[in-house]
């Protein structure tokens, strides 16, 4: 697969969204922290009325997320319903959300949504739950939220930011359930909520692709091992290495007859 990142670079991956790169994890923590190795506590918000924003420290090296990230949440709800809307954004060194070039100037971001009444597991890359099922109230439940396929490079000096809410307006509107559930995100070592994702293959060959406004001969890019993580995403969380979820398996293994 030929893949283009948000920074304009092109490369060849063996598969997409399941790439041959390493697995990363960034654990949620108190006070808006993202990327802790020993997270503690919990964070509560009201669906449709408030939100939770977490972000990494300023990065000393680039971080490259690719494929379909999964926000692997542990949470409780005070009512038997609720909608989870989540957004991943790339924050530049100036503290602003980076945007793609072009007339639309969309944010360099990806989005994911999940209903607490639709939590059956996704098998073979398909979601087959035919009817809603009430989630437990006041008991921890695991809620994986898949994001739209993406390829995001967070530059040195930037940050990765995740927003979790009950509604989101763009690019696809997601409305709250209407129950105003109080959602408590658990982020301790017994219930480690984390953003899990694949990173680009460090050995993936770079491509020089002609853009519409590019003239002259193409020059083969220099062969070099790309930086995909400065150490933050591959660090153990509560003593455990990043998990390779089923969602990260190569497409040919996920899609069967």
Closest CA to 254 of 126, 111, 125: 125
For residue 177, the tally of other CB atoms under 10 A from its CB is: 20
Please compute the mean of the pLDDT values over residues 51-71 and round it to a whole number.
96
Q: Number of helices and strands (H, E) in the chain?
A: 1, 15
- 85 within a domain of the structure (yes/no): yes
- 5 within a domain of the structure (yes/no): no
**Phi, psi at 251, each rounded to 5°:** -55, -40
- 194 within a domain of the structure (yes/no): yes
- 143 within a domain of the structure (yes/no): yes
Rg of the chain taking only CA atoms, in angstroms = 19
The token pair that represents 54 in the structure block: 């977490």
Element (H, E) at 206: strand 206-207
Determine the structural domain holding residue 118 and report its residue range: 23-122+130-198+232-241
DSSP for residue 79: S
> What pLDDT is recorded for position 249?
83
Entry pTM: 0.93
The token pair that represents 8 in the structure block: 């304009």
- 191 within a domain of the structure (yes/no): yes
The token pair that represents 206 in the structure block: 């770079």
For residue 104, pLDDT beyond 90: no
Q: Express as a percent the part of the chain with pLDDT over 90.
A: 72
Measured CA to CA, the distance from residue 243 to residue 55 in angstroms comes to 21
Residue 71 β-bridge partners: 145, 195
Burial zone of 92 (CB within 10 Å; 0-12 exposed, 13-18 middle, 19+ buried): middle
The token pair that represents 111 in the structure block: 């989005």
- 204 within a domain of the structure (yes/no): no
How many distinct structural domains can be found in the chain?
1
More confident residue, 126 or 155: 155
For residue 233, pLDDT beyond 90: yes
- 150 within a domain of the structure (yes/no): yes
- Give the range among 59-68, 90-99, 202-211 with minimum mean pLDDT: 202-211
In which band, very low, low, confident or very high, does the pLDDT at 28 lie, cut at 50, 70 and 90?
A: very high
- Give the range among 92-96, 150-154, 206-210 with minimum mean pLDDT: 206-210
Please answer whether residues 76 and 141 qualify as being in contact, where contact means their C-beta atoms are separated by less than 8 angstroms: yes
Please compute the mean of the pLDDT values over residues 200-208 and round it to a whole number.
91
- 175 within a domain of the structure (yes/no): yes
> What pLDDT is recorded for position 103?
61
The token pair that represents 229 in the structure block: 């993580």
Domain at 147, CATH number: 2.60.120.260
């Amino acid at each position: 697969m030929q893949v283009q990142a948000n920074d304009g670079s092109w490369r060849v991956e063996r598969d997409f969204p399941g790439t041959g790169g390493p697995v990363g994890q960034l654990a949620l923590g108190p006070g808006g922290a993202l990327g802790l190795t020993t997270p503690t506590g919990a964070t509560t918000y009201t669906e449709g009325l408030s939100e939770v924003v977490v972000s990494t420290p300023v990065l000393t090296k680039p971080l490259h997320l690719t494929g379909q990230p999964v926000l692997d949440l542990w949470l409780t709800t005070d009512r038997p319903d609720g909608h989870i809307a989540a957004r991943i954004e790339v924050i530049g060194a100036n503290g602003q959300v980076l945007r793609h070039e072009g007339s639309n100037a969309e944010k360099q971001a990806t989005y994911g949504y999940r209903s607490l009444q639709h939590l059956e597991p996704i098998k073979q890359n398909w979601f087959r739950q035919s009817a809603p099922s009430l989630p437990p109230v006041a008991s921890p439940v695991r809620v994986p939220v898949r994001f739209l396929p993406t390829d995001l490079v967070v530059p040195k000096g930037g940050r990765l930011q995740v927003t979790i809410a009950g509604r989101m307006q763009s690019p696809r509107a997601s409305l709250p359930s209407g129950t105003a559930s109080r959602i408590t995100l658990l982020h301790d070592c017994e219930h480690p909520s984390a953003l899990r994702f694949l990173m680009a293959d460090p050995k993936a060959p770079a491509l020089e692709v002609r853009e519409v406004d590019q003239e002259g001969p193409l020059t083969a890019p220099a062969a070099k091992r790309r930086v995909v993580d400065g150490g933050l995403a591959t660090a153990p969380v509560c003593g455990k290495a990043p998990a390779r979820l089923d969602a990260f398996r190569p497409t040919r293994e996920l899609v069967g007859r």
